[in-house]
Amino acid sequence: MIALLLRLYPARWRTRYGDEFAALLAERPLGPFDVADVLLGALDAHLHLRGLGSYSEHQRGFPMSLRLGGIAAVIGGALWFGGLMWSMLDPADQDFGAVLAAFGAAALVVGLAGLSAFQARRHPVLVWAAFALPAVGGALATLGLFMLAVVGDQPVAGVYGWALLIIGVLGTIAGSLVFAVATYRTAALPRSGAVILGVSAVISLIGFVAASSQGGTGSSEPVFLAAFGAFAIGWIVLGLQAIRLDRPVMATGAGAA
Amino acid sequence: MVTPLPELGRFAEPALLILVSLSDGPKHGYAIMADVEQGTGRPMGPGTLYAALARLEERGFIEALPPVDRRRPYRLTALGATTVAEQLRELSAFAELGLRRLGQAPR
């Protein structure tokens, strides 16, 4: 993976920094946070070396941070919950709600990457699993949405769009549960946030199964509402905690950009 | 007044953290990351570190030393030391002003 990441940088940059950068990447396990940060770094190096060298252009850079992860987690939790509730409460306009939820799921994947810096060093496998579940789930859910929009409630190659959508939702919840466990074990962020996210993910999974067993009838809506609401609150709390931890040290006229 | 770090845009904050980390002697990339994380409680990714290191070296605030086992240490230049001292004085003066307005004494 290190060689692949290095290849993303311009050749001129690699000539100067490649060897020491590869040595740095090999020092500890890489997590989603590190990979996302290297991707942004590679993009920045291309912009920087392609004549975009005037000082003002440097503001294009966007370092990965807990803050970015926290903001994505808060937005993702709110969109995800809002989208699913919209679909549930307004059956006539389910598409809009589903699209909102898909954007929310994508934001949660970004949030997970942004908040995973410390956990990945001690539990890389756990954190990559936590990242992969919602990432794959999000892709499946998007495919499911596309199928529902194009062919409606008809199977394609024996697969229904709504089934992919459900698998996507379950992937997001399961990945969040794994991430909560990794965060709790590492204590990288306040454990209270990890507990809220973990418990709410379990409640969501139970609620999902309970509601599905009722055939998705109107009586199951309060169960969904409580379960998904708790899940969104879990992400929002964890995101806010990360933002609070990542206060800028230069947020003054002396140098903040 | 010397305030060149804002010109580093989004990398001004990592740049200051790196300069402070190098204030007590040369360090290689991993040691800088570990030092910054220990000092601030926040992660610094490898991409951010090297984006800021490249800018700092370009402007002559730091210089590379010969590599040791593929790890290349960096140290502050005289310009870098002056710059970081000035930057920290400004931050300190601003913090004191804020605390005075809040009616609280600096620690």
A250: in domain: no
Residue A172 is which amino acid? T
> Does B44 fall in a domain?
yes
| Token pair belonging to A79 | 């969109």
pLDDT single digits (tens) B40-97 = 888 899 999 999 999 999 899 999 999 888 899 999 999 999 999 988 888 888 888 8
Output the pLDDT for position B18: 94
Alpha-carbon distances, residue A109 vs A17, A49, A69, B37, B88 (angstroms)? 30, 30, 9, 23, 36
A185 versus A204: the higher-pLDDT residue is A185
Q: What are phi and psi of B19, to 5 degrees?
A: -60, -40
- Domain limits at A8? 2-60
The pLDDT tens digits for A34-55 are: 999 999 999 988 887 775 544 4
CB atoms within 10 A of CB B98: 12
Q: Domains in chain A: how many in total? A: 2
Residues A47 and A71 in one domain: no
Alpha carbon distance A60, A130 (integer Å)? 30
- Residue B27, strand partner residues: B74
| B61 three-state secondary structure | coil
- Quote the CA–CA distance of A209 and A192 in Å, as a whole number: 26
- Which chain A residues have a beta carbon less than 8 Å from that of B50? 17, 21, 24, 41
Let me know whether A121 and A154 are in one domain.
yes
Residue B88 within a domain: yes
Q: Which of B25, B24, B76, B82 is nearest to B53 (CA)?
A: B76
> Is A135 a member of any domain?
yes
Assigned domain for A24 exists: yes
Answer yes or no: do A95 and A119 share one domain: yes
Indicate the pTM of the whole model. 0.79
CB contact under 8 A, A23 and B71: yes
- Residue B62 inside a domain? The answer is yes
From chain B, pick out residues whose CB is under 8 angstroms from the CB of A36.
45
Q: For CA atoms B28, A18, A34, B4, give the dihedral sign.
A: positive
List, for residues A142-180, the tens digit of each pLDDT value: 888 778 777 777 888 888 888 888 888 888 889 999 999
Closest-CA distance of chain B to residue A19, Å: 6
CA distance A199 to A177: 8
Judge whether B106 lies within some domain. no
Residues 65-94 of A with CB under 8 A from B: 65-66
Domain identity same for A19 and A72: no
- Residue A253 falls within a domain, yes or no? no
Q: How many domains does chain B have?
A: 1
Count other C-beta atoms under 10 Å from residue B67's C-beta: 13
Residue B50 gets which letter from DSSP?
Answer: H
- Cα-flanking dihedrals φ and ψ of residue B96, to 5°? -65, -40
Q: Are residues A89 and A132 in the same domain?
A: yes
Cβ <8 Å between B11 and A58: yes
CATH code: domain of residue B65: 1.10.10.10
Residue A55 has a pLDDT of: 42
Whether A252 maps to a domain, the answer reads: no
The answer to whether residue A255 sits within a structural domain is: no
Instruction: Report residue A24 CA to chain centroid gap.
Output: 25
Residues of chain A by 3-state class (helix, strand, coil), percent to 5: 80, 0, 20
* Dist. CA A26–CA B69, nearest whole Å: 13
